[in-house]
Amino acid sequence: MKHLHKNYHEMDSKDFNSCYQNRISYESACKLDIQIKPMDQPNSYPLYYIPTNNIINKISEAYKASKKLEFIFMNLPDVAKNQFVMECLVEELYNTNELEGVKSSREEIARSAKEIKLNRKSKKRFNSMIKLYLNLYSGEIGIPQKPEDFRYIYDEITKGEIDESELPDGEIFRKEQTFVLKKSGTGKVIHHGIVPEEKLIKSVESLLTFLNEEQGVPDLIKVAIGHYYFGYIHPFYDGNGRTSRFISSVYLTHVLGKVSAFSLSRGSNKYRNKYLNAFEITNSLKGRGELNYFIDIFLDIIVKTLIEMTSELKEKVELLNLAYEKIDNESMLNDVSHSYKEILFVLAQNYFFDQAKGMTVKEISEEFNWSTATARKKIKELMEISLIEQFGERPAIYTVKEGYFDN
């Protein structure tokens, strides 16, 4: 089915309005109890979408891709599994920051995440944001139930990153008008959020009712529509994108799985032009409230990213299998305890799956349920035969000797 907005410039006003009326009157059209009002014109339009074979196929592809990724992930050894989660988390945070124009680096986020995992007190950037995503993965973040839950997520995910003048000044959200500018740098205003705050809160309540109670819309389509409508409401002066992508990820954990939920920001940034354009078109008069274009783009981004994540994971698994064979046949470990090979394999998992490569004595001892003294002794002996090396102190970080897997 041709998206409605593509007919806008091909038809005169009368024919286009007739086309719109035919679309929204389809027996299969799913009309929502939510309306939008395109900028600078008087009419409001109900949101609706038409189930198509294209949407059905994309939903099927998303479930298949997520199931494949989750299956490979669940069969990883424990250290590799934990490190892959951290890698996905780092990618998700880096990409959501990139979309918002927040300068960060993968290394910076990875270091902060490492310190949080080690339970070290730190005042580094993004600590609150990292903890929120870690809590999402651990299942400690529940489905939002009320507008205040959106505000809590916003506070945690933007802590320390929003100028004081841009912080919410209303009861829950913003009091004044806010504008969305075209990302091309032209300065053109392409959308403004709902005002006043009373109306904004009611819109958020309508969104939550749709996400949590609507029974007639497939879950994955609900996430796509919810993601769009949050952007339309625009409840904050700044930080809406980061907040919205996290909220959508909360719902995606229940629809596609915990690891698959880490696909949204990564994909949205990689395909940012399509992602941002989908909002602009759906907000516009030529979109008339039709959601098919946004749903198609949203699902396409999810599917492509899940396939890419699966491909990356399969490559890491292959490298890890080769590493296991090398360690198992390592002649220098023939006459020592099998635990030395186990340590080396744990470090190999870390080597291939961790962006901030290396493990502490504490991490290694916890992995094997040893005392730190026992772990330190074995590590020292592996260093003496030049299989692993140390970086830094307090804490010392241990990793596989550089170049070991190249030979």
* SS3 state of residue 188: coil
Q: Outline which parts of the chain fall under CATH 1.10.3290.10.
A: 4-311
Two tokens at 256? Answer: 């596609």
Is 111 annotated for ligand binding? no
- pLDDT, tens digit, for every residue of 275-313? 999 999 999 999 999 999 999 999 999 999 999 999 999
Two tokens at 27? Answer: 């027996």
Identity of the amino acid at 215: Q
When computed from its CA atoms, the radius of gyration of the chain, rounded to whole angstroms, is: 25
If you search the block for the tokens 């479930």, which residue do you land on? 63
180 φ, ψ (degrees, to nearest 5): -105, 125
Q: Strands 189-192 and 179-181: what pairing? A: antiparallel
Q: Any residues with CB less than 8 A from the CB of 270 and at least 6 apart, and which?
A: 95, 301, 305
Report the Cα–Cα distance between both ends of the chain, in Å, rounded.
Answer: 55
Give yes or no for residue 20 having a pLDDT over 80: yes
399 φ, ψ (degrees, to nearest 5): -145, 170
Q: Any residues with CB less than 8 A from the CB of 280 and at least 6 apart, and which?
A: 182, 190, 191
Q: Outline which parts of the chain fall under CATH 1.10.10.10.
A: 330-406
Is 242 annotated for ligand binding? yes
Q: Any residues with CB less than 8 A from the CB of 356 and at least 6 apart, and which?
A: 107, 110, 111, 113, 114
Residue 227 among the catalytic residues: no
Q: 4-311 adopts what CATH topology?
A: Fic-like fold (1.10.3290)
Of 2-6, 184-188, 331-335, the range with the highest mean pLDDT is 2-6
pLDDT at 390: 93
Give yes or no for residue 189 having a pLDDT over 90: no
Give yes or no for residue 132 having a pLDDT over 80: yes
If you search the block for the tokens 């609507």, which residue do you land on? 214
Identity of the amino acid at 149: D
Of 124-133, 228-237, 350-359, the range with the highest mean pLDDT is 228-237
Ramachandran category for residue 386: left, alpha or beta (phi over 0 → left; psi -120 to 50 → alpha): left
CA distances 362 to 2, 82, 86, 229, Å, are: 58, 16, 18, 46
In the chain, what are the helix, strand and coil shares in percent, each to the nearest 5? 60, 5, 30
Q: Which of these CATH numbers, 2.60.40.10, 3.40.462.20, 1.10.10.10, 1.10.357.140, describes 330-406?
A: 1.10.10.10
> Is the pLDDT higher at 185 or at 152?
152
Mean pLDDT for 185-197 is 86
Give yes or no for a contact between 250 and 141, defined as CB atoms under 8 angstroms apart.
yes
**What is the full DSSP assignment across 387-404?**
SEEEE-SSS-EEEEPTTG
pLDDT at 77: 94
Is 244 annotated for ligand binding? yes
Identity of the amino acid at 60: S
Q: What does the alpha-carbon distance between residue 332 and residue 322 come to, in Å, rounded to a whole number? A: 18
- pLDDT, tens digit, for every residue of 318-351? 999 999 999 999 988 887 777 899 999 999 999 9
Is 284 annotated for ligand binding? no
pLDDT at 219: 97
Is 339 annotated for ligand binding? no
- Given 3, 234, 254, 338, the catalytic residue: 234
